[in-house]
Structure formats: structure tokens, C-alpha cells
């Protein structure tokens, strides 16, 4: 994480009654009266997601698209920290086939997040069997959850891929 700071007004905790000196001697081996409350200098710390060496970060998602970095992608995609595969072959859930996942073995991922659109739907296990046999963890979830989870795992430095089905109004698939 990148950390920046900016100075703020000092905060005097003694006036607020937040200092408890009763256990001071047991904790620090000194007389409690030796500890005088003084104003405490507080700095505000701002945290920003540091994607490390990652090139591709999901910045936003919504009905009909995902923003990867500054690019809005409106068709199904696969994203890893190092790769963005636009226009992934299945555009709807009911178009998923076994072969759609074969190339992921080449990306040397440890986790695949499959975003199945606006709702959770489980594909046939044979579609993902080759990845599981290679030791890749597979998690199936709706696309918004997959986007959030991708960013968390990516920020932890994990070798993660998110295969995201993007549904647009009038282009949804699967069983209702």
C-alpha cells in the first residue's frame, strides 16, 4: 500500500479521559504518577490500493460492462494482473463450453474466478475439470462478486484470473 500523510491538529487524549493509568505500573514496571498525559500529535494517513506490478485492475463494474483500468469493456473478458483478454468467446452463460477454459492453463494461475453474470449459476464440472486437475482453485460467483474478489486477490499478489460474463440488457443467457 502506498502511504501518504498530512499533518492535523494535535489531539489531547487526556482531556477526553481516554488514558487509564491504573494498570500502568503492572504493564511498564514504573509508578503510575511518572506518566504525564501530553498532547498526542496525530497524522492522517491515506491508503491507496497498490496493485504492485499488476497492469490490470478492475476499477468499476455494472450492468453491461466492466472498467479495467481506464477502459470500459462491454463484452465477456478474462483478466489477470498481467493479461486482458477482450471479447472472450462465450458471451452468455448458455454458450459456455469446455474448450473456453483450456487456454487458462498457459497463464499459470492459481485461482480462477468465474463470474456468471448478474446471478450465480454453476457450469458443468467437466468444463473446469482440466484446471482443477492442474491444481487451480476455481470459484464460481456472480460477476460483481468476481470483480471484487479479483481485486482483493490481485492486491495480495496472488496469480488470479477472472473470467467474466458480461450481460447487457437483451443479451442475457441461461435459464431463469
The per-residue DSSP string of 30-74 comes to: S-GGG-----B--EEEEEE---TT-S--EEEEETTEEEETTEEE-
Domain count of the chain? 2
Are 74 and 108 in the same domain?
yes
The count of other CB atoms within 10 Å of the CB of residue 119 is 13
Mean pLDDT, residues 30-44: 43
Are 38 and 119 in the same domain?
no
- Among 11-20, 65-74, 98-107, 142-151, name the one with the lowest average pLDDT: 11-20
Are 64 and 116 in the same domain?
yes
Are 102 and 32 in the same domain?
no
Are 9 and 94 in the same domain?
no
What pLDDT digit, counting tens, does each position of 88-131 carry? 999 999 999 989 999 998 999 999 999 999 999 999 999 999 99
Give, as one character, the DSSP assignment of residue 170: T
Residue 37 maps to a domain:
yes
Provide the domain limits for residue 30: 2-48
Three-state SS for 79?
strand
Question: Which pLDDT does position 64 carry in this prediction?
Answer: 87
Amino acid at each position: 500500500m502506498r502511504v501518504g500523510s498530512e499533518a492535523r491538529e494535535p489531539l489531547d487524549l487526556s482531556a477526553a479521559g481516554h488514558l487509564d493509568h491504573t494498570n500502568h505500573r503492572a504493564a511498564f514496571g514504573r509508578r503510575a504518577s511518572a506518566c504525564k498525559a501530553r498532547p498526542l500529535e496525530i497524522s492522517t494517513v491515506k491508503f491507496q490500493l497498490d496493485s504492485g506490478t499488476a497492469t490490470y485492475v478492475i476499477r468499476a463494474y455494472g450492468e453491461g460492462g466492466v472498467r479495467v483500468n481506464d477502459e470500459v469493456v462491454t463484452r465477456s473478458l478474462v483478466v489477470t494482473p498481467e493479461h486482458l483478454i477482450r471479447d472472450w468467446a462465450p458471451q452468455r452463460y448458455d454458450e459456455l463450453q469446455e474448450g473456453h477454459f483450456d487456454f487458462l492453463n498457459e497463464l499459470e494461475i492459481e485461482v480462477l474466478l468465474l463470474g456468471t453474470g448478474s446471478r450465480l449459476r454453476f457450469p458443468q464440472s467437466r468444463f473446469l475439470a482440466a484446471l482443477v486437475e492442474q491444481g487451480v482453485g476455481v470459484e464460481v460467483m456472480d460477476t460483481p462478486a468476481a470483480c471484487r474478489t479479483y481485486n482483493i486477490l490481485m492486491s495480495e499478489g496472488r496469480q488470479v484470473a477472472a473470467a467474466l460474463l458480461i450481460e447487457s440488457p437483451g443479451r442475457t443467457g441461461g435459464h431463469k
